[in-house]
Amino acid sequence: MTDAQPIAWNLSGFGDEIDPNPEVQVAVLQALGARFIEVRSAWGVNVVDLDDAQLAALKAILGKSGMGVSAIASPIGKVGLDGDPQDEVGRLLRVIRVAKELGTSSIRVFSLFLEGAAHDDARSAVLERMSLLAAAAADAGVTLLHENEKGIYGDTPDRVLDIVQSVGSPALRVAWDSANFVQVGVTRPHDEGYAQLRPYLDYLQVKDAVSATGEVVPAGEGDGQVADTIRALAADGYTGFASLEPHLASSHDLGGFSGAFAFGEAARAFRRMADDAGIALR
């Protein structure tokens, strides 16, 4: 009788949390044992704004290093409700081109900033816009991964579930972020949301947060029940990506930042948790 093979997940991370230079991003991620990168920006330029020359240069860097791309961390859906819905579809089409050039079919998206509007009042407009985005994604053969972010419609497990069930498209799936749930008052994200969202969960973003302060901390040091979630995913047979998004140093207009040292600390904290759960990170 042979020993069972360990569960293996693909380790990735937000490269621009390390450094603006994609060559540095790749070097640090590979030193931490990752073979994939999640691309949000390069040289300080967001993916939706990369010109053709920058995109070609980024593709060359990733190709030379042998680094795969787990997802495009786009800003699609990080807009208010008062704009033309087709404008965001147009931006998505540009991001889809970036995704295809870099060899991934997964694109992170959001469900629009409410900017003071009540959730119930915004629901219809949000679902209309998310349906348009999902339709464009389906036509292009890519998958949108909705991230539960602060200040958007889909901030809690119930509202994330509402979006994916109401839109009803296989091109719209869920990226799970424990820290973001904690920061909007979901005190036990795994207990309150995992079971209902698991059928739609295709991607794991790794960060944690402290309920009392909202401070983002390495996985396992906060109240996000990260260990419970990774154990449950392992038991469910999940074999996808775990993408490090530590947010340990500061934030800027492109998103959170950690720097190479803090990013490494976050990676090692998550690897310890994965080891304890019997998950091999590759």
Q: Is the pLDDT assigned to residue 1 strictly greater than 60?
A: no
Q: Is the pLDDT assigned to residue 216 strictly greater than 80?
A: yes
| CA 232 – CA 239 distance, rounded (Å) | 12
Q: Is the pLDDT assigned to residue 248 strictly greater than 90?
A: no
Helix 52-65 / helix 22-31 crossing angle, nearest 10 deg: 20
- For the segment 107-117, what is each residue's pLDDT rounded down to a tens digit? 999 999 999 99
> Could you say which of 3.90.1150.10, 3.20.20.150, 3.10.20.30, 3.40.640.10 is the CATH number of the domain covering 7-281?
3.20.20.150
φ and ψ of 248, to 5 deg: -95, -10
Q: Residue 72 burial by CB count (10 A; 0-12/13-18/19+): exposed, middle or buried?
A: buried
Q: Are 266 and 244 in contact (CB under 8 A)?
A: yes
Question: What is the pLDDT averaged over residues 117-140?
Answer: 98
| CA 124 – CA 93 distance, rounded (Å) | 23
| CA 97 – CA 77 distance, rounded (Å) | 17
Question: What percent of the chain clears pLDDT 70, i.e. is strictly above it?
Answer: 96
- For the segment 17-47, what is each residue's pLDDT rounded down to a tens digit? 999 999 999 999 999 999 999 999 999 999 9
pLDDT of residue 259: 83
Q: For residue 278, count other CB atoms closer than 10 A to its CB.
A: 12
pLDDT of residue 249: 74
Question: What is the pLDDT averaged over residues 116-130?
Answer: 97
Residue type, 102: L
Helices (H), 171-258: 178-183, 189, 195-197, 226-236
pLDDT of residue 3: 58
pTM here is 0.95
pLDDT, greater one: 2 or 41: 41
Strand order in 68-73's β-sheet?
36-39, 68-73, 106-109, 143-147, 172-177, 201-206, 241-244, 7-13, 279-281
pLDDT of residue 250: 57
pLDDT of residue 252: 47
Place of tokens 């900033």: 113
Place of tokens 């190479």: 260
pLDDT, greater one: 253 or 146: 146
pLDDT band of 255, cuts 50, 70, 90: low
Q: Is the pLDDT assigned to residue 2 strictly greater than 80?
A: no
Mode of pairing for the β-strands spanning 279-281 and 41-42: unpaired
